Structure 1
Amino acid sequence: MTTFNVPTREEVNTTNQGIFDHLEKALGFVPNLFATYAYSENALKNYLDFTNAKTSLKAKEKEVVNLAVSQVNKCEYCLSAHTAIGKMNGFSEDQILELRAGKASFDNKLDALARLSKNITENRGNTDADILENFFNAGWTKENLIDTISLVGDKTISNYINNTTRVPVDFPVAAPLDAALA
């Protein structure tokens, strides 16, 4: 079976080296998943441009989507990273577990977002009408819907890259959802 080592700065092109330097300065390290994007000469820059693009969703709302999507796609790396980021955005451990399960009993609007994100991912975009109606009834807009779908795609790309390459998780590992809820 092919194994994927995490590329080092010296193993990537000069564009990616510059991105590594920026990530090192901003985050204190280059996350293994981002480094894995650098196997491609263009994918890391393209991904960072996409994931950092303007959106109608606030940072905390983006984490709702990231956690629900990563759970459906069973991405240990992204679940671990977004559990840490979710905590930095003010979510408790119990709230993060709920969001991973695609719900949020603690906030009606976030509940609609989590349910939509989970449903879109599970159904590959064939969203259930009642889930969509609940999303709009909770106060979300059509702009929010399009931005949510874009974010589902963004996170799915990372989930698929990690699930294919299986690079080591360099965040505290999130507990499996079933074990955590037991």
Structure 2
Amino acid sequence: MRPFDVPTRDEVTEQNQQIFDDLKSKLDFVPNIYATYAHSDNALARYLTFANGKTSLNNKEKEVVNLAVSQVNGCTYCQAAHTAIGKMNGFSEDQTIELRKGEASFNEKFDALAGFAKSVAENRGRISDDVLQNFFDAGYSKENLVDVIVTIGDKTTTNLLHNVTEIPIDFPEAPELKETVS
């Protein structure tokens, strides 16, 4: 058992208390992963500024990246959270499962994006020319490429935080992926 608790509002700094209040007003609760950032006086505000920054990606595209990267990084918290958020953005359960695999047979553009995000995360940016060309051929731009990489960084930060702390998941658990044999 890891020695990490999820801090309550009363256990965090005044700045973090204000952020908790804002999150609760917008989301109706403070997700455990955000509360965990509040072990630091500055990390929660810093992370939320980073995660909520402007991007050329729309909400569905961000969820494509979040699902693929959270699977690569083995973060069960983010798999659960982004399965729920993906559904709120119009993806079905089966589609979220495909996206976690780095695929999207239901949409050619999302398929290229999911494959690109998965490859970047798995290979630490050292991707093949084919993956890169497929991304551009699907209609994505250099601006999109930079924004996908920033989104991967954002999601990887949270994936690592959960993987280290193992704080409780407060979203419905994402289904386990079935292993496929090639």
* Shorter-chain TM-score above 0.5: yes
Please state if 1:70 is matched with 2:34.
no
- The code of the aligned residue for 1:173 comes to E
| Offset, 1:127 | 1.7
Q: Structure 2: which 5+ residue stretches go unaligned?
A: none
Please state if 1:44 is matched with 2:44.
yes
1:143 is paired with a residue of what secondary structure?
Answer: helix
| Offset, 1:126 | 1.0
| Offset, 1:177 | 1.1
Please state if 1:178 is matched with 2:178.
yes
Percent identity (aligned): 61
- The code of the aligned residue for 1:49 comes to T
Partner of residue 92, structure 2: 92
Q: Distance in 2 between matches of 1:82 and 1:157?
A: 15
Partner of residue 124, structure 2: 124
Please state if 1:154 is matched with 2:154.
yes
- The code of the aligned residue for 2:101 comes to A
Aligned length: 179
Q: Distance in 2 between matches of 1:87 and 1:12?
A: 32
Q: Distance in 2 between matches of 1:72 and 1:34?
A: 21
Partner of residue 109, structure 2: 109
1:177 is paired with a residue of what secondary structure?
Answer: coil
2:3 is paired with a residue of what secondary structure?
Answer: coil
- The code of the aligned residue for 2:136 comes to F
Judging changes above 3 Å, is the alpha-carbon distance between structure 1 residues 2 and 84 closer, same or farther for their aligned structure 2 residues? Answer: closer
Q: Distance in 1 between matches of 2:5 and 2:49?
A: 24
Post-superposition, which runs of at least 4 consecutive aligned residues in structure 1 deviate over 4 A? none
**For each residue in 1:146-177, what CA deviation from the matched residue of structure 2 results, as whole angstroms up to 9, or x when unmatched?**
00000000000000000000000000011211
1:44 is paired with a residue of what secondary structure?
Answer: helix
1:49 is paired with a residue of what secondary structure?
Answer: helix
- The code of the aligned residue for 2:10 comes to E
TM-score by length of 2: 0.97
Q: Structure 1: which 5+ residue stretches go unaligned?
A: none
| Offset, 1:24 | 0.6
Partner of residue 31, structure 1: 31
- The code of the aligned residue for 2:131 comes to I
